Copies of this chain bind each other. A is one copy, B any other.
Amino acid sequence: MTNNITPQSEDYSRWYLDIIREAELAENSEARGSMVIRPYGYALWEAIQSGLDRRFKDTGHVNAYFPLFIPKSLFQKEAEHVKGFDPELAVVTIGGGSTLEEPLVVRPTSEAIIGHHYAKWIQSYRDLPLLINQWANVVRWEMRNRPFLRTTEFLWQEGHTAHATEDEAREETLRMLDVYVDFAENDAAIPVIKGIKSDRETFPGAVNTYTIEGMMGNKWALQMGTSHYLGTKFAQMNQIKFLDQNNVSQLCHTTSWGISTRMVGAVIMAHGDNQGLRLPPVLAPIQVVIVPIWRKEAERVSVLEVVDRVHTNLRDKGIRVKVDRRDDQTPGFKYNDWEMRGVPMRIEIGPRDVQQQSVVFARRDRPGKEGKSFGIPLSEVAHETQTLLHSIQENLRLQALQTRADNTHRVTSYTAFQEVLQEKEGFLHVHWAGTTQDEERIQEETKATLRCLPLDSTTEEGQCILTGKRTSQMAIFARAY
């Protein structure tokens, strides 16, 4: 065991918790199920927020903020929605020292309260589409907790839009799904399968739920973001109506879509290895760490002079760079420490490098000597750093893509399905024409769940692996978080 981190092969779940502790990403708090997101973990979340927020604004959305507390009667208007969330609610019953006449639900999601206000803001077709996002905390009472993946309180963004027609609302639902794909693949370097959820996994109250599913290092699936077409159900519940061009009153079609701090868990598990985190440069709070190396005082001065020059040079190019100036730790310790924290690349500068007016690069995504480049001339450092960061970003994505390809299995019988899950896990790509009950049976027998019906799927007919029915519908099954 290096760095107090359990090897993945020994116990993946412990590996995950070890990394979170050692890299100081998060820790449990006193209120059961809540976590503290520590500065390094929060910086990762800030990078995720920034990548998403830019994309939301580029697609015409604005941010707003709706209340944390929702009166219980308002929350209970949409029947399926309530059924889905009621068991998970935290409820405020005391305010300012008195028992409240009406208890307040701490929002588990905001369709109910946002719809209530949209009904006031939307009068005419001219007010549509209404495209709003909110960054907020939400609370869902969870019995089994795991930092970032499942916590009682979590941070997320929730987009809520209202449209004049079903077509426009469905287009928005898929547009935001594509925004999520773009973010996952290009910023988080995680290839994802986009698909539609089965009825069993559809958001309570939605007509359709779309999802992006990524493969984690233990070959399990993680749902990384969802986008819902809500039809006119929430519009009906809140009377979100508009006068169309012909002065006829119509119900709006609405959507909602969200990505949460769960994305931090995805980045940890899609890229991490036995040494620790491996962060994609686009999201890494520190993209480059510079480690100065010296023995004698005279060396120290000349080394630090070059270190400072490189530091300033990179910072001025907008690269997030840190110099590890600790004088009570060896360079070797520092290498391990920053590797464990997933910093994409390291620059080593010692007396010989100063003499040769060059530096050494080491990349996190390729271990040992293979990942080192010697003699990078000082004059080229900024340019070469940018090039290498791009290359690491792309390489992490390709490695994840390869892992997924290696562990996605096309099976045509339920026997083969069960064998694969027992022997090696992974994604199972199958023809599917089953029901909710069939999904439940599969979960009981194999622990795998239907992740999605992929959108980009072949349409060749085949036999449903469970029911034997002919179908052109494909499905992805996997064990999942």
Query: Which residues of A pack against B, CB within 8 Å?
Result: 27, 29-31, 34-39, 41-43, 45-46, 62-71, 74, 86-97, 103-104, 106, 113, 116-117, 120, 126, 132, 136-137, 139, 141, 143, 152-153, 155, 328
- Tell whether, in the assembled complex, residue A36 and residue B96 are in contact, meaning their CB atoms are under 8 Å apart: no
Q: How far is the CB of A286 from chain B (nearest CB, A)?
A: 12
Of the A-B pairs whose beta carbons lie under 8 Å apart in the complex, a sample of 5, sorted by A's number, is: A45-B65, A69-B90, A94-B103, A106-B106, A137-B137
Q: How far is the CB of A428 from chain B (nearest CB, A)?
A: 33
Q: How far is the CB of A280 from chain B (nearest CB, A)?
A: 20
A7 CA / B93 CA spacing, docked (Å) = 41
- Tell whether, in the assembled complex, residue A96 and residue B153 are in contact, meaning their CB atoms are under 8 Å apart: no
**Count of identical protomers in the assembly:** 2
Select A92's contact among B43, B86, B90, B136, beta carbons within 8 Å.
Answer: B90
- Tell whether, in the assembled complex, residue B87 and residue A153 are in contact, meaning their CB atoms are under 8 Å apart: no
Select A67's contact among B34, B94, B97, beta carbons within 8 Å.
Answer: B34
Q: A117-B27, A117-B29, A137-B137 are in contact. Are A36 and B94 (CB under 8 A)?
A: no
Residue of B whose beta carbon sits closest to that of A94: B91
With contacts A30-B70, A91-B92 known, what are 9 further pairs, Cβ within 8 A?
A29-B66, A31-B67, A34-B68, A36-B67, A86-B97, A90-B94, A90-B95, A91-B94, A95-B141
- Tell whether, in the assembled complex, residue A37 and residue B65 are in contact, meaning their CB atoms are under 8 Å apart: yes
A30 CA / B137 CA spacing, docked (Å) = 19
Q: A68-B153, A96-B88 are in contact. Are A116 and B30 (CB under 8 A)?
A: yes
- Tell whether, in the assembled complex, residue B66 and residue A36 are in contact, meaning their CB atoms are under 8 Å apart: yes
Residue of B whose beta carbon sits closest to that of A98: B141
- Tell whether, in the assembled complex, residue A64 and residue B37 are in contact, meaning their CB atoms are under 8 Å apart: yes
